[in-house]
Amino acid sequence: MEIINTCQEYSKEELDTLRKTVNYDLDTAIRFLKLYTQAVDTDSFLIDNKGKIIFSTYTSGIYCTFCQRIQNLLDDNLQCSHVHLYGSYQAERFGGKYIFFCPIGMVHWASPIMVEGMMQGAMLGGPVNITSTDDFLINEVVEKHNIRGSVIGELKASIKEVKYISPGRVSSMAEMLSLVAGQVSKLNPVQVAEDQDNLQQQSQIAEYIHFLKSMGGDDETMDNTYPIDKERELLALISSGDKEGSRKVLNEILGHVFFASGRNFDVVKSRILELVVLLSRAALEGGASLDEIFGLNYKYLNQIHTYTSVDQLASWLSRIMNRFTDCVFDLRDVKHVDVIYKALEFVKKNYMNKISLNDVAETANISPSYFSKVFKEEMKFNFNMYLNQFRVNMSKKLLMEDSVSLVNIAFLTGFEDQSYVSKVFKKITGMSPEKYRESMGRRKQDKTG
């Protein structure tokens, strides 16, 4: 069977080039990651800031045997680099570590490598399994990816082969990995003069300035003819998640700003701050999380005062735009899957208690209204329906025990009282709890008779 590899990896030649240009000690990062894997007895890997794998401890030679096997069972490919990048961005946002689910329900954890306040790469661990296989989740994967026939059994078998690690131990391993990544971040060598992206950006800006001059423009004329049409085009591209198109138009706008201002630092800085506000609005209109964009804005705006040249400002703005565009498009579907799995895990652990929409949304780190919308879109029914269904399933197990009263079943499964559990139970199953218990009792007698 041909292996489908959706996890992008560096070739040896690319790795040699990266070693000369990356802004942290790559060899030390790899050595630390090997030691980490030996210590925790779980595989790990290193990615760049685009999600491409630099190094992994997997002995198979490709990123993850489990993931590659799953790819061959699905009709559509899972973009692993998007999953990894999403977890790394969330780790940057939430204090240096983040535990997350992949679209198949396996768990990873990530910690960013930070250089001068920007994520240059990340270390990740996993995949592992932190819970018993949930047939409901398996069925969701089966339906979503159009899996049929004997392949369903192969999927279940593959998932069962993944190492089980308790949630508490995963949390400890995530904490340890964040310490390792933090140490690598401090080992940043002498900064390279200019990386390839900055050079390309400066070249595009210079080309556009040359174009403006060739059209006969002067400072006064250009100052009065700010390219509003280009600005609108940029906002539309960001809202749709077009990273390459956004970068091109942004550089044209920056070329106009540089030319019109004569590269005056204060004027350029003022214009760039205005653009940051516009970029964030475009990201929000494209569906990015309000909390995430506001958090990034706060972080980035605190950095702008450390720059002293217009080229630094331009490079900084380009990185912001890339992050905002990622929030809008590339990682949106992955984020939704992660939100759903976190919600289902929360229900599984807390169904016997009172659960509000706010409680679950807080676990998923998003607003209640956004969580409600995402859950309905992904699951095709609302959260309360799922919660009631789950509690009814738990009630069915308890109804098999004649010694457990309906009053206690209501208490043990999180329903308000006996009358409410009876109402919900009948609505979902078509029979009352008493009738269900009676029918199951008859089945037991038939089997033993």
Give the end of a domain, one of 315, 330, 345: 330
The better pLDDT of the pair 304, 150 is held by 304
Distance CA 271, CA 252 (A): 14
CA distances from 287 to 108, 331, 339, 439 (A): 25, 11, 15, 49
Tell me: the pLDDT tens digits for 174-183? 999 999 998 8
Higher pLDDT, 434 or 238: 434
Give the containing element (helix H, strand E) for 110: strand 107-115
Q: CA 6 to CA 149: how far, in whole Å?
A: 24
CATH number of the domain within which 59 lies: 3.30.450
Q: What's residue 310's pLDDT? A: 83
Q: Are residues 47 and 180 in the same domain?
A: yes
Residue 404 lies inside a defined structural domain of this protein: yes
This model's pTM is above 0.75: no
Angstrom distance (rounded) from CA 275 to CA 236: 14
Q: What confidence category does residue 2 fall into, taking pLDDT thresholds of 50, 70 and 90?
A: very low
Are 326 and 340 within one domain? no
Tokens of residue 202, six digits = 């400066």
Per DSSP, the three-state class of 433 is helix
Going by the DSSP 8-state scheme, the letter that residue 191 receives in this structure is P
Q: Are residues 200 and 76 in the same domain?
A: no
For residues 82 and 169, membership in a common domain is answered with yes
Residues 319 and 380 in one domain: no
Q: What is the mean pLDDT of the chain?
A: 78
Is a pLDDT exceeding 80 seen at residue 296?
no
Give whichever of 32-41, 194-203, 311-320, 345-354 has the largest mean pLDDT: 32-41
Whether 374 contacts 340, CB under 8 Å: yes
- In angstroms, the CA 445 to CA 449 distance is 6
- CA proximity to 300, closest of 277, 327, 284: 277
- Given a contact cutoff of 8 angstroms between Cβ atoms, the answer to whether 386 and 134 are in contact is no
Q: How many domains does the chain have?
A: 3
Lowest mean pLDDT segment, chosen from 80-89, 316-325, 396-405: 316-325
Tell me, yes or no, whether 191 lies in a domain. no
Asked whether residue 152 falls in the same domain as residue 237, the answer is no
Q: How far apart are CA 281 and CA 320, in angstroms?
A: 13
Q: Are residues 22 and 151 in the same domain?
A: yes
Give the domain-ending residue among 312, 330, 348.
330
99: β partners: 109
Domain-terminating residue out of 130, 152, 186: 186
Using CA atoms of 251, 254, 258, 260 in order, give the dihedral in degrees to the nearest 10. Answer: 120
pLDDT of res. 348: 86
Mean pLDDT of 311-339: 73
| 127 upstream amide cis, omega within 30 of 0 | yes
Query: Does any domain span residue 3?
Result: no
* Chain segment 213-225, per-residue pLDDT in tens: 665 555 554 455 5
Domain limits for position 59: 12-186
Residue 224 near residue 272, CB atoms below 8 Å? no
pLDDT at res. 4:
36
More confident residue, 146 or 161: 161
The stretch 299-309 carries a mean pLDDT of 80
Separation in Å, CA 3 to CA 19, 104, 162, 328, 357: 29, 18, 18, 31, 41
Mean pLDDT, to the nearest integer, of 358-385?
86
Pairwise CA distance, residues 114 & 117, whole Å: 6
In the chain, the percentage of residues whose pLDDT exceeds 90 is: 15
Give the pLDDT mean for 100-108: 83
Structure confidence at residue 111 (pLDDT): 94
**DSSP β-ladder status, 53-56 and 98-101:** unpaired
Does residue 442 surpass a pLDDT of 60? no
Q: What is the DSSP string of 310-370?
A: HHHHHHHHHHHHHHHHIIIIITHHHHHHHHHHHHHHHHHHHTTS---HHHHHHHTTS-HHH
